[in-house]
Amino acid sequence: MSSRHKLRLDWCSHEAAKYACEKWHYSKNVPVGKIVKIGVWENGSFIGVVLFSCGSSGVGCFGKQFDASAFETCELSRVALRRHDAQVSRIVSIAIKLLRKQSPDLRLVVSYADPEQGHTGGIYQAGNWVYTGRSAADRAYIDISGKRWHSRSISKSGWKTRLGRKTRAPKPDGMDVVYLMPKYRYLMPLDDDMRRRVELLRKPYPKRVTSTDSGVPDNQSGGGGASPTVTLSE
């Protein structure tokens, strides 16, 4: 591995994940619920995070068609990076290796590329993920302050249940509704049986609109982060 691209991936704090998402991800937020937070360091400098989560109920249901339980399926929900040299697909690949060490029973990772952000999933195509088509159409809500909330974060009752725990959620009353374009869905099977099942759904990759490893902005800078402990690299 070239010293010019020396990488270190390790568990990071919620504060580091929040900083990276607010600075370097278009969503400007950290997903709610239980999250696996992996920090990324390049040549000793913190450059961002890769986050895995339980995802939406749809992710769990999607895994069921492959006989995978909700605990065997997760979502790659954030790749939030500042300007860097290493390929994003390589960073994601290392992050998945680290995730599998922590969760050896995991069988399937799902992720989405958002066409509203100009993404077609270049980082997944470069990593040989399986493209299976577009997600269902969805919507978002905009509150009085201008903050945008995904439909999964909204509840008419003011409560959401995640992993058996109730948490408060904003109500849609008085919010403006924005209808979203269907996203590109990619799957990464983690065992041979799962790969055989998933490969049956493979479709041709959608046309890339930018470079081979696009999907993460490279024109932002910043600092912050936490000190790594145990590390993993290629």
User: Which CATH number is 1-134+183-234 given?
Assistant: 3.40.630.30
Ranges of CATH 3.40.630.30 domains, the chain: 1-134+183-234
Answer whether 188's CB lies under 8 Å from 106's CB: no
Q: Is the pLDDT of residue 57 over 70?
A: no
Residue 13: its pLDDT value, please?
97
Q: Is 164 left (phi over 0), alpha (psi -120 to 50) or beta?
A: left
The pTM assigned to this predicted structure is: 0.78
Q: Give the pLDDT mean for 149-171.
A: 74
Per-chain mean pLDDT for the chain:
83
Q: Can you give the length of the chain in residues?
A: 234
**Could you give the CA distance from residue 232 to residue 234 in angstroms, rounded to a whole number?**
7
